[in-house]
């Protein structure tokens, strides 16, 4: 079997999605499955839909096109502000997109008219994450201008939390966001179909004791894929945290060498690297490195310690009996490691836990190797 590879248990992704849909549904909140971390992998997206996700969302047009090429016809939303240069592609592949710039919305409107369609606009509001979004005091004016444009339709508002700032939303922030939805409806007239309150970091708020107000959608990626809450990193009760496993092959083993004399070629502080002594008595080298994934985001197998990594090599120490050359080691990944590994062209994706036979990524065509997050 090829290495390195990611083994994906689709049944666990389905169950994770179903668990969140079941818990959020009684609170009036639907789940939009976010596929950007898996580069729009069609089988993983389908597992989200099979688990009850109301629709899909991604941050990159190429990932959406991959989903469409696989035959997925349901609603897909672009959740990063579209590039002006991709306005036509966005309109052709996405029913809706999240937006912050009037110039981009105008380009989408023109593209929709050329395409003889109407493109849905969700306005992203800056609620404290300090990444993307319209300032609340400017939202009303921009919403009114969108209402006057042909080719687009104002569908809702959205907010984002804990991506740039790393801070989970407060009850006050969420209440203020809901008030904005009511104000926009009062000024612009039409009912907002989408009031998207955020991402996986909003789950503690959404599942808490307080009322969730107007929020009727959460965009969930990390919680579905890894079963954890992003801010704390804690496992969500009843969720699977091992739907993805990264497998790498051992290419060298030896006893731990004695320390070598150090000659400082570049003594500047930022170039120095101190390796602490560990209890490991032997080491192994695996055919995987920084080019393949985010090494600090890997969970080392029990009894093993990370010594270091280069672009193509991962060096691990172990006090146990060394594995043989050609054997495999398995790793769990955090969100950053998963994103990097799914985008790496040399890592195969093997699908498990699905009764339907699906080809692996390596057999699905060039587009699979070009979708980056």
Distance CA 247, CA 348 (A): 10
Instruction: Assess whether pLDDT exceeds 70 at residue 164.
Output: yes
Instruction: Assess whether pLDDT exceeds 50 at residue 361.
Output: no
Q: Is 307 helix (H, G, I), strand (E, B) or coil?
A: strand
Q: What is the mean pLDDT of residues 260-278?
A: 52
Give the pLDDT band (50/70/90) at residue 319.
confident
Instruction: Assess whether pLDDT exceeds 60 at residue 280.
Output: no
Q: What is the mean pLDDT of residues 291-318?
A: 94
- For residue 190, the model assigns a pLDDT of 77
Give the pLDDT band (50/70/90) at residue 263.
low
Distance CA 346, CA 40 (A): 17
- For residue 303, the model assigns a pLDDT of 87
Instruction: Assess whether pLDDT exceeds 80 at residue 360.
Output: no
Instruction: Assess whether pLDDT exceeds 90 at residue 355.
Output: no
| Contact yes or no for 159/121 (Cβ under 8 A) | no
Q: Is 138 helix (H, G, I), strand (E, B) or coil?
A: helix
Q: What is the mean pLDDT of residues 188-216?
A: 94
Element (H, E) at 172: helix 171-188
Instruction: Assess whether pLDDT exceeds 50 at residue 359.
Output: no
Closest to 21 in 3D by CA, of 267, 175, 149, 206: 206
Question: Hey, what CATH topology would domain 9-226 get?
Answer: TIM Barrel (3.20.20)
Please state which of the ranges 1-5, 44-48, 261-265 shows the lowest mean pLDDT.
261-265
- For residue 362, the model assigns a pLDDT of 39
- Annotate 180-203 with DSSP letters as a single string: HHHHHHHHH-SPPSEEE--SGGGH
Which residues make up the CATH 3.20.20.10 domain(s) of the chain?
9-226
Q: What is the mean pLDDT of residues 173-193?
A: 94
| Contact yes or no for 250/328 (Cβ under 8 A) | yes
Q: What is the mean pLDDT of residues 205-220?
A: 96
Burial 275-285, CB ≥16 within 10 A → b, else e: eeeeebebbbb
Instruction: Assess whether pLDDT exceeds 50 at residue 277.
Output: no
- For residue 320, the model assigns a pLDDT of 77
Rounded mean pLDDT of the chain? 90
Please state which of the ranges 80-84, 184-188, 283-287, 365-369 shows the lowest mean pLDDT.
365-369
- For residue 369, the model assigns a pLDDT of 31
Instruction: Assess whether pLDDT exceeds 90 at residue 370.
Output: no
Instruction: Assess whether pLDDT exceeds 70 at residue 97.
Output: yes
How many other β-carbons are positioned within 10 Å of the β-carbon of residue 249? 18
- For residue 259, the model assigns a pLDDT of 58
- For residue 265, the model assigns a pLDDT of 55
- For residue 189, the model assigns a pLDDT of 84
Q: What is the mean pLDDT of residues 327-335?
A: 96
Element (H, E) at 248: strand 244-255
- For residue 282, the model assigns a pLDDT of 87
Q: Which residue has the higher pLDDT, 251 or 371?
A: 251
């Amino acid at each position: 079997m090829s290495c390195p590879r990611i083994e994906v248990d689709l049944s666990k992704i389905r169950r994770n999605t179903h668990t969140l849909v079941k818990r959020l549904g009684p609170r009036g909140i639907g789940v939009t499955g976010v596929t950007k971390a898996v580069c729009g992998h069609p089988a993983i997206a389908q597992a989200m839909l099979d688990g009850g996700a109301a629709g899909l969302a991604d941050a990159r047009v190429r990932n959406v096109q991959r989903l469409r090429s696989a035959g997925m016809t349901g609603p897909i939303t672009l959740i990063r502000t579209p590039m002006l240069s991709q306005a036509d592609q966005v309109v052709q592949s996405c029913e809706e997109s999240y937006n912050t710039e009037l110039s981009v919305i105008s380009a989408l409107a023109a593209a929709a008219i050329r395409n003889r369609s109407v493109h849905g606009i969700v306005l992203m509001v800056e609620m404290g994450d300090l990444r993307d979004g319209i300032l609340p005091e400017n939202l009303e004016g921009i919403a009114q201008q969108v209402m006057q444009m042909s080719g687009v339709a104002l569908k809702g508002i959205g907010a984002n939390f804990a991506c740039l700032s790393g801070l989970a939303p407060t009850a006050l922030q969420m209440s203020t966001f809901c008030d904005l939805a009511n104000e926009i409806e009062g000024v612009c007239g039409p009912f907002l179909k989408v009031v998207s309150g955020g991402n996986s970091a909003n789950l503690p708020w959404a599942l808490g004791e307080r009322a969730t107000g107007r929020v009727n959608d959460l965009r969930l990626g990390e919680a579905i894929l890894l079963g954890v809450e992003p801010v704390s990193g804690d496992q969500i009760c009843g969720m699977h945290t091992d739907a993805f496993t990264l497998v790498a092959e051992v290419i060298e083993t030896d006893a731990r060498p004695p320390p070598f004399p150090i000659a400082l070629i570049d003594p500047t502080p930022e170039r120095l690297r101190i390796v602490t002594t560990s209890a490991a008595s032997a080491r192994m080298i695996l055919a995987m490195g920084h080019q393949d994934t985010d090494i600090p985001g890997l969970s080392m197998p029990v009894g093993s310690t990370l010594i270091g990594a280069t672009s193509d090599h991962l060096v691990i120490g172990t006090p146990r009996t060394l594995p043989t050359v050609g054997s495999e080691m398995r790793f769990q990944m955090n969100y950053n490691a998963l994103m990097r590994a799914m985008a790496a062209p040399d890592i195969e994706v093997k699908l498990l836990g699905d009764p339907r036979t699906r080809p692996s990524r390596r057999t699905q065509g060039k587009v699979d190797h070009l979708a980056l997050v």
